[in-house]
């Protein structure tokens, strides 16, 4: 299972499509809200293969502040289960903050900046494939 914090529906479709090609049997569990992810993700950490985090989140209509990826990074680094992380935020400064949290806690992490129109299909895919090859190896397409 891959855990993801992402608020854009179009990006979620693209992430899902890439995972469908790379590892079709690997489920993707997503959250649009950092507070919800912090509340709900604990039971999924043991079965998670990796985690991909955005930073900036837009509130859904009628909802309060969704928090951000830095809150999730702080929460994750307080957990006993360590997983590989991809930070896929366009907010460079806050992505560095998130990377700093993971660095200080000794978590392996990669930064994939959303540059260009095909960054999910090329750059994010490359990072995911690299991580999954290490973790699930022969099951990977």
pLDDT at 59 (0 to 100)? 84
Measured in Å, how far apart are the chain's first and last C-alpha atoms? 16
Q: How many domains does the chain have?
A: 1
- Enclosing domain of residue 78: 2-139
pTM reported for the whole predicted model: 0.93
CATH classification at residue 49: 3.40.50.2300
pLDDT digits (tens, 9 = 90+) for 72-93: 999 999 999 999 999 999 999 9
Which stretches of the chain score pLDDT less than 70?
137-141
CB of 118 closer than 8 Å to CB of 112: no
User: Which pair of structure tokens corresponds to residue 57?
Assistant: 């989140």
């Amino acid at each position: 299972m891959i855990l993801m914090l992402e608020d854009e529906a179009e990006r979620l479709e693209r992430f899902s499509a890439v995972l469908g090609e790379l590892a079709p049997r690997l489920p993707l569990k997503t959250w649009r809200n950092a507070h919800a992810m912090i509340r709900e993700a604990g039971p999924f950490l043991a079965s998670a293969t990796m985690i991909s985090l955005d930073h900036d989140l837009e509130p859904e209509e009628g909802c309060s502040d969704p928090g951000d990826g830095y809150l999730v990074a702080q929460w994750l680094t307080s957990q006993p289960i360590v997983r590989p992380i991809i930070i896929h935020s366009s907010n460079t400064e806050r992505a560095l903050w998130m990377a700093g949290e993971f660095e200080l806690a000794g978590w392996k992490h990669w930064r994939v900046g959303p540059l260009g129109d095909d960054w999910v299909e090329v750059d994010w895919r490359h990072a995911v494939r690299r991580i999954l090859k290490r973790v699930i190896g022969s099951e990977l397409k």
